[in-house]
A and B are shown apart, each in its own frame.
Chain A
């Protein structure tokens, strides 16, 4: 394992499987009455969140606390960042406080990468702009593996706003590493220009892809990042790319439906689909804590041998 987790592409197949196997063992902790391990006692994890987030921040906080680490939450609102402090100065402040790991979410793609060059501790990317969200990809892979077994040759379809999605990019990279076949389905306007270089297939026709899919992952339509008209109306988007009961009926019996949350019910996913037994949406949240525990343990649990930087 490297010292930081910035991109899903940093993970070799062995690294990724080690994280998933570790998470498998740690999953049992959340079933015990004492949900705590002493492993990271005396280590400090800083949650540095420049963008709003509930589930990811809480998930990282719960993961760090279950491993007995001290957690400092830092959100940009109401901090010196709103007084104009730069990312570098914030990083140096954290450094002076002795942070062993910094979990960062930032609106700018590449911010975690810059941060990794300034601090001595480990940097974990909790979402940077439209770039990557590696721990989400890990928890998604973990959820798929628990439901379906090994991912080699499994067909995963990722549907929706790929252009603004850091989840999609991290998932494509990680799932390709793990041997799954990924197909992206989206309107052409919501696919990034560079998608041809990604290790995946692309389709514009959801109905044709659904019967061949083991996993269908719906992405949130990120209206807050949309500064232009990417599709004519929400109704039209929902008709062509939304997952409703009729579309679910085309999937084979063991196929699962995933969503990284938060959902726009009725937009990309129908409420009855989101609440169906095929849906892993609630499991994904629980698995998020377990997977992040595995990541924090593997980054911080051993000796800091000054592993290679990025």
Chain B
């Protein structure tokens, strides 16, 4: 094994290697905003619903980009999925996140669910159930900053910031300015902090 290869591997496998830095995240979100505008004919009837906690921040950023490009204010809300999870019984009862719908609701809108990491797909399944109890959107789409694979349900994202091949033993951690004081996506190995 040459030094260059092992060096490259160290970079990939290093304990806290940032897969995306702040500017990368920003570029990905700008691209996703444009894709949403393309796919929805300029953002007509679009509602962005973030899944707490970091999905909500991402949804707000997407809405801000869309406002800059198109001059259109897209309604943003949050959708807590705790009560709809299928793994509630594996842990003590969790505190609830915040569900806040835009004033006009989601009926007949195109709802774009926004989450930070797409993994098993179970969160999205729960979000679809929660959404069904809140109204009847015309269509539901999914945006994720990182798609790390290993789906356990037939779910895919419409907009992806970065496809990140991972092993199941790895942990993908998303840091956002609003929550964590910095922007980064970090790949950790099990046992790392």
Contacts and interface: CB of A to CB of B under 8 A. Distances in A.
Given A25-B98, A25-B99, A36-B133, A303 B84 contact: no
B91 A34 contact: no
Interface in B128-142: 129, 133-134
A297 B99 contact: no
B93 A38 contact: no
Main secondary structure of the interface of A (DSSP, over half): loop
B99 A28 contact: yes
Most-contacted residue by chain B among A25, A299, A300 (CB, 10 A)? A25
B121 to A, nearest CB: 18
A1 B93 CA distance: 9
Interface string A262-304: 0000000000000000000000000000000000011111111
Given A32-B133, A32-B134, A302 B99 contact: no
B99 A301 contact: no
Which of under 10, 10 to 19, 20 to 34, or 35 or more describes the interface residues of A? 20 to 34
A9 interface: no
A301 B88 contact: yes
Contacts of B6: none
Contacts of A26: 96
A30 interface: no
A36 B84 CA distance: 11
Interface residues of B, number: 18
A302 B83 contact: no
B95 interface: yes
Given A25-B99, A37-B84, A298 B133 contact: no
B85 to A, nearest CB: 9
A295 to B, nearest CB: 10
Contacts of B98: 25
A34 B136 CA distance: 12
Given A25-B80, A38-B83, A297-B83, A303 B92 contact: yes
Contacts of B92: 1, 302-303, 305, 307
A87 interface: no
Interface in A23-71: 25-26, 28, 32, 34, 36-39
B83 A21 contact: no
A26 B94 CA distance: 13
Which 8 residue pairs of A and B lie closest in terms of their CB atoms, listed nearest first? A302-B93, A302-B92, A301-B93, A25-B96, A39-B83, A37-B83, A34-B133, A298-B93
